[in-house]
C-alpha cells in the first residue's frame, strides 16, 4: 500500500511512502481495540475515591435506645448507616483500576486502529516538519495547507521534538506524539493521523508481529 508524501505546503513531493500491509492493511479486530482502550482508560483513573463507613464516622458510640420493648428495630449507635449522617454501607474504597494486557493484544489493537484509519482515508504522510523555534503561527499554517486546521488530529514523530511540541500545544484538538508513545485510544480518537516519513520505519519495528 502506498501513500503520497506531502510537504509542509500540502503539495505532493512525488515520493511514495510504502505502508506495511501487516500494520495498515489487516482485518481490524474490534475486541482487541476495546481491550486496549479500556486498558489505557483504566490506567488514567486515580482510584482515590473513599466514603466513610460506620467505624470511621465521628460520633457517640452510646446505645441510643434500649434493645427491646420499643416496637422498632434495634439500634446500637448514632453512626448506624440507616440514620442521617451515619456511615455508608459498602462505600467506595481506594483501588487500582489498571490491569494487565498481553503485549501481542496491544500490538494487534494498534494495527487494527491504524487499518481503520487507512480505510477511512484519514492517514497522511508528511516529508518532515522543521521548527527552528517554537512558533504556533507557523504550525497552524502547515495544518491549513494540509486542510486539517479544524480537525482533531494526531501527529506522529520519530523522536520527541521540543520545538514542534511547543508550537502545537496551544492549538486545540492537535496532539504530537512520538512513535514509542502511540496508543490505540489516541489513534481512534483522532479524525486524522499524520505520520512524518521518518517515523514509519520506527513504527514498523515497534508493531511488527
Span 40-64, pLDDT tens digits? 999 999 999 999 999 999 988 899 9
The whole domain housing 20 covers 2-29+101-207
Indicate whether 129 belongs to any domain: yes
Q: Please state whether the predicted TM-score (pTM) of the whole model is above 0.85.
A: no
Count of domains for the chain: 1
Q: What does DSSP assign to residue 96?
A: -
185 secondary structure, DSSP code: H
How many Å apart are CA 98 and CA 96, to the nearest integer? 6
Residue 188 inside a domain? The answer is: yes
Instruction: Give the pLDDT confidence of 172-209 residue by residue, as tens digits.
Output: 889 999 999 999 999 999 999 999 999 998 999 888 75
Report the distance separating Cα 171 and Cα 112, nearest Å: 28
**Residue 127 domain-assigned?**
yes
CATH of the domain at 166: 3.40.1370.10
In the prediction, which pLDDT does 209 show? 58
CB-CB contact of 115 with 26 (8 Å):
yes
Q: What is the pLDDT of residues 101-122, one digit of tens each?
A: 999 999 999 999 999 999 999 9
Contact yes or no for 192/122 (Cβ under 8 A):
yes
Answer yes or no: is 94 within a domain: no
Amino acid at each position: 500500500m502506498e501513500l503520497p508524501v506531502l510537504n509542509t505546503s500540502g503539495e505532493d513531493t512525488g515520493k511514495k511512502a510504502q505502508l506495511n500491509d501487516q500494520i495498515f492493511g489487516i482485518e481490524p479486530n474490534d475486541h482487541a481495540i476495546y481491550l486496549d482502550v479500556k486498558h489505557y482508560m483504566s490506567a488514567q483513573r486515580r482510584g482515590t475515591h473513599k466514603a466513610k463507613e460506620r467505624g470511621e464516622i465521628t460520633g457517640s458510640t452510646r446505645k441510643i435506645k434500649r434493645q427491646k420493648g420499643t416496637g422498632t428495630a434495634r439500634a446500637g449507635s448514632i453512626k448506624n448507616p440507616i440514620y442521617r449522617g451515619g456511615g455508608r454501607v459498602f462505600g467506595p474504597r481506594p483501588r487500582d483500576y489498571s490491569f494487565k494486557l498481553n503485549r501481542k493484544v496491544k500490538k494487534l489493537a494498534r494495527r487494527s486502529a491504524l487499518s481503520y484509519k487507512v480505510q477511512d482515508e484519514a492517514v497522511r504522510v508528511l516529508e518532515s516538519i522543521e521548527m527552528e523555534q517554537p512558533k504556533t503561527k507557523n504550525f497552524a499554517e502547515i495544518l491549513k495547507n494540509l486542510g486539517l486546521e479544524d480537525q482533531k488530529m494526531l501527529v506522529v514523530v520519530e523522536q520527541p521534538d521540543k520545538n514542534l511540541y511547543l508550537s502545537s500545544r496551544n492549538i486545540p484538538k492537535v496532539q504530537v506524539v512520538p512513535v514509542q508513545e502511540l496508543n490505540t485510544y489516541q489513534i481512534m480518537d483522532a479524525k486524522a493521523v499524520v505520520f512524518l516519513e521518518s517515523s514509519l520505519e520506527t513504527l514498523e519495528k515497534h508493531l511488527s508481529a
